[in-house]
């Protein structure tokens, strides 16, 4: 499927949010709108690696919004390098953003998607810190389904400048939820995965899906660096598309 890529400035209370939007060129055969997918990046923001993933998902029939997660400070417009300096700057960007700030930006982007006539059902996904942000996006009742890839900080509330209440608010999620982890991820070890699953069950999400990919390291879907696993990446994307569409 051919795609159209544009850059939008999504308005928010703190200022515009630079957002890449990838859309199918053709109209749906039934004349309806395409489902919308909000995709949260890792700490490195709008890298070509993440945009390649976004294109793969958009090509499956989603209007895919990819906002910067640090759009209001010195990292606005910056795609960080996958090196120690880039990691440090990305982590500093997180440390300088409050949970309320992340939430306000999420509402702004979902509002924009909901007002887009080319967008129908709303879905969310994200990677690493973006997986945590996707989990919080699922609090919005407009979100029909969410897939979180190796979400960090859920077990201990580590997200930004303060302690996030994400797991405690699991009961606010109304849509379907899928969590994907790698078995060799030191950021979300077995005890943390058990804590997350227990919190979801305690909140009534007994039908939430929990996938643990054998051998997967943290960021195994990032197609740069030694941790990348192409086979698991293909599996993760295929299962996400199925979760969003075949079972919607």
Q: What percent of the chain has a predicted confidence (pLDDT) above 70?
A: 99
Adjacent-strand bridge partners of 122? 36, 143
Pairing type for strands 17-24 and 63-67 reads antiparallel
In terms of DSSP H, where are the helices of 138-212? 190-202
Round the CA-based radius of gyration of the chain to a whole number and report it.
17
Spatial separation of the C-alpha atoms in residues 233 and 110, rounded to whole Å: 26
Report the alpha-carbon angle 76-173-110, nearest 5.
35
- Tell me if residue 9 falls in helix, strand or coil: strand
Please count the structural domains in the chain.
Answer: 1
- Once rounded to an integer, what is the mean pLDDT over residues 200-206? 97
**Mean pLDDT in residue range 240-245:** 97
- Interatomic CA distance for residues 49 and 41, integer angstroms: 10
Cross-strand pairs, 34: 119
Give tens-digit pLDDT for 152-195: 999 999 999 999 999 999 999 999 999 999 999 999 999 999 99
Largest CA distance in the chain: 48
Side-by-side strand order, sheet with 63-67: 3-10, 17-24, 63-67, 34-40, 119-127, 143-149, 176-182, 209-213
pTM of the model: 0.97
Please give the mean pLDDT across all residues of the chain: 97
Q: What are phi and psi of 16, to 5 degrees?
A: -65, 150
CB 45 within 8 A of CB 133: no
- 8 Å CB contact between 138 and 175: yes
Provide the pLDDT for residue 248: 57
CATH code for the domain of 121: 3.40.50.1820
- 238 is in which domain, residue-wise? 3-246
| Tens of pLDDT, residues 8-48 | 999 999 999 999 999 999 888 888 899 999 999 999 999 99
Do 187 and 220 contact (CB within 8 A), yes or no? no
């Amino acid at each position: 499927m051919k795609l159209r890529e544009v850059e939008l400035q999504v308005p928010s209370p703190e200022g515009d949010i630079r957002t890449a939007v990838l859309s199918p060129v053709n109209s749906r055969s039934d004349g309806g709108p395409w489902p919308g997918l909000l995709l949260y990046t890792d700490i490195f923001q709008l890298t070509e690696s993440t945009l390649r993933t976004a294109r793969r998902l958009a090509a499956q029939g989603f209007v895919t919004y990819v906002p910067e997660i640090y759009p209001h400070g010195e990292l606005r417009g910056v795609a960080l390098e996958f090196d120690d300096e880039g990691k440090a700057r990305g982590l500093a960007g997180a440390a300088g953003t409050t949970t309320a700030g992340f939430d306000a930006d999420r509402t702004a982007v979902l509002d924009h998607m909901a007002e887009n006539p080319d967008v129908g059902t709303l879905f969310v996904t994200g990677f690493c810190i973006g997986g945590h942000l996707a989990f919080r996006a699922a609090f919005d009742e407009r979100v029909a389904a969410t897939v979180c890839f190796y979400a960090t900080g859920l077990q201990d509330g580590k997200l930004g400048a303060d302690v996030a209440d994400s797991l405690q608010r699991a009961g606010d999620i109304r849509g379907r939820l899928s969590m994907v982890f790698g078995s060799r991820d030191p950021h979300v070890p077995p005890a943390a995965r058990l804590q997350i699953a227990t919190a979801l069950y305690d909140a009534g999400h007994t039908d939430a899906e929990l996938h643990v990919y054998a051998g997967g390291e943290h960021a195994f879907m990032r197609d740069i660096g030694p941790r990348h696993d192409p086979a698991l990446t293909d599996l993760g994307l295929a299962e996400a598309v199925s979760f969003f569409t075949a079972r919607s």
